[in-house]
Amino acid sequence: KACIAYAPGTVANLVCGFDILGLCLDSPADKMEVRLLDTAEIIIKSADGYPLPEDPALNTAGAPLLEMLQDLDQKVGFEIIIHKRIKPGSGIGSSAASAAGAVAAANYLLGSPFDKVQQIQYAMAGEKVASGVKHADNVAPCIYGGITLIRSIAPLDVIPLAAPDLYVSVVHPQIEVRTADARAILRQQVPLKNAIKQWGNIAGLVTGILKNDLPLIGRSLEDHIIEPVRSTLIPGFQELKKSCKEAGALGGGISGSGPSIFMLSSSRQTAQAIEGIMQETYKNLGIDYHSYVSMIN
Ligand code: HSE
Check residue 180 and give its pLDDT.
Answer: 86
| CA–centroid distance, residue 135 to ligand 1 (Å) | 7
Query: What tens digit of pLDDT does each residue of 208-249 get?
Result: 999 999 999 999 999 999 999 999 999 999 999 999 999 999
Check residue 188 and give its pLDDT.
Answer: 95
| CA–centroid distance, residue 19 to ligand 1 (Å) | 6
Query: What tens digit of pLDDT does each residue of 56-98 get?
Result: 999 999 999 999 999 998 899 999 999 999 988 889 999 999 9
**ipTM score assigned to the predicted complex:** 0.98
From the number of C-beta atoms within 10 Å of its C-beta (0-12, 13-18, 19+), residue 42 rates as: buried
Residues within 6 Å of ligand 1 by CB: 12-13, 18-19, 93, 135, 137-138, 179, 182-183, 256-257
Q: How far apart are CA 234 and CA 14, in angstroms?
A: 17
Active site residue 127: yes
Mean pLDDT of 260-264: 98
Report the atom number in ligand 1 closest to the C-alpha of 254: 5
Pick from 10, 15, 16, 18 the residue to mutate for probing ligand 1's pocket: most ligand atoms within 8 Å of its CB: 18
Query: What tens digit of pLDDT does each residue of 154-181 get?
Result: 999 999 998 889 999 999 999 988 888 9
Pick from 170, 178, 179 the residue to mutate for probing ligand 1's pocket: most ligand atoms within 8 Å of its CB: 179
| CA–centroid distance, residue 146 to ligand 1 (Å) | 17
Residue nearest to atom 1 of ligand 1 (CA): 19
Report the atom number in ligand 1 closest to the C-alpha of 230: 5
| CA–centroid distance, residue 59 to ligand 1 (Å) | 18
Check residue 63 and give its pLDDT.
Answer: 98
Exactly one of 148, 179, 270, 281 is catalytic; which is it?
179
Query: What tens digit of pLDDT does each residue of 46-63 get?
Result: 998 889 999 999 999 999
Residue nearest to atom 8 of ligand 1 (CA): 256
Report the atom number in ligand 1 closest to the C-alpha of 12: 4
| CA–centroid distance, residue 31 to ligand 1 (Å) | 22
